[in-house]
Amino acid sequence: MTLAARDERTRLELAQERLDVALARLDNSLSRPAAVPDDNQDLIESLRAEIESLRQDNTALRCANESAQEQITKTIDRLNLLLEA
């Protein structure tokens, strides 16, 4: 992986950002009175809980991705050192 490739946002990062935006839009739409009738408050709370769960999953995936990227970078750097020796 070249230095230029490391600086580019990955498809995974872009997908995570799109998911963040989509979850925010869902949350905002649930806040509008016309979105869901008052008799469906249980549904609203259930959807909000699901949105929060998805946010937590996305955060965990983002952390795992960053950790994997760091490990890959370290491995590539070590391999480059071996090749240069």
What residue spans define the domains of the chain? 11-84
pLDDT means per 10 residues, the chain with 85 residues, are 58 87 85 68 84 90 90 94 90
**pLDDT of 71:** 94
Distance CA 40, CA 9 (A): 40
HSE-up of residue 18 (Cα within 13 Å, Cβ side): 7
**pLDDT of 82:** 93
C-alpha distance across the termini of the chain, in Å = 19
